[in-house]
Structure 1
Amino acid sequence: MDLFGETSNWAVKLKPILKKYKGEKHPLEYQNTYQLLVMVVLSAQDSDANINKIAPALFEKFPTLKSLSKTDIETFKTYISKVRNYPTKAGWLLEIAKTIKKDEDIPLTMQGLTDLKGLGRKSANVIMRETHQPVEGIITDLHVIRVAPRIGIVKENKDGNKVEKELMQVLPKSIWSEIGMVISFHGRETCRPKPKCEECPIADDCQYYLTHVI
């Protein structure tokens, strides 16, 4: 079995999970692009569930980028103090707010988003996917970094940007916008650190299943 490269025809092999998760909203419970931007920055190295928990009070106090740009860092930090690495993230977000100022001016391109403090390609891909922008990459979060090599789509690598680059080489652009989030959901629900192979709809094409389970 050829595990790597276009000859593996992963677009076909991944169809069962694409069908299952395509179009699913990101687990962050945002109401608009401003909230999505803030929550994506806060969620780095933290859980979506934790960010969802602190979001209501945060956005009641700071409903727009403009309101956020007018506060001071000490006030702001009290609203995100339960978030991992919150002092650094507070600085990033206040700089973003002061730079952009208005919600409607949030950039929605890879270049525009990654030019902002605290936003890498993974975060930019999430924002672009959720706001239905033309695709420029593949969401590569911690679940994708763990699951994609386990399945056999790419070689193991801890660097998300390298995993994304390899996924982009192997998978057709027609599924880029969805496949990262699809693999992420698959990793959250089925292909967990201790995988539920017996429930997996793509087990027959999975490197881990074929070499470790059967």
Structure 2
Amino acid sequence: MDFSQLFSQADAIGRAVALLLLLMSVASWVVILWKAWLLRRAGGDVDRSTVAFWQAPSLAEAQQRVAAFDREKLVLPLIEATQAQAPGSLAAAGDRSQQLTRMLRDALHAVLDKLQFGQVLLATVGSTAPFVGLLGTVWGIYHALTGIAAAGTISIDKVAGPVGESLIMTAAGLAVAIPAVLGYNIFGRLIGRIEADLEGFALDLRELVAHHAGGA
């Protein structure tokens, strides 16, 4: 008995569980493939952008050089944040060093939100897919038991379909959860590495701009 036969013989709840697992799998794989592409580009962009920045002779030239390398717009928002001005508002209160800290922190949070997008979905799929599969397993066993009770005797034809359905649901739940968990953990480490590079760059950038402002 193949999967299509099991699906056609399942009731509404069994089909709903199977469709839910399919949707979870498709969504997690879309996120996994997209984030693998994004983080691969992002890691290289951050390295090249920071090198180009520190090799530039001036802040204006550095911004132009970074714009050529920063395809995912991860470093450029930090540089632009140091140039933001809001005269007459609380954002402009305090000395220049405090303003820079506040603006760079906000810009860094926005950049990290972009990198972390999709992590919640992977974590959710990884933690819930086994239980969704377990629901299908329990429902399949329930069908097997009701089939035996209705027949009054134990026969292969009464239990094979429901038991086979339950075993497939268990395997499907694990097949959906494992890639999501692996993707979440791997991407979490990559994001942490990029985050450390961006935080270090933001700290150095704040000191540089504050020094320029103090010397102006």
Greater relative contact order (CA < 8 Å, ≥ 6 in sequence): 2
Which of 1 and 2 has greater Rg? 2
TM-score of the pair, normalised by structure 1: 0.28
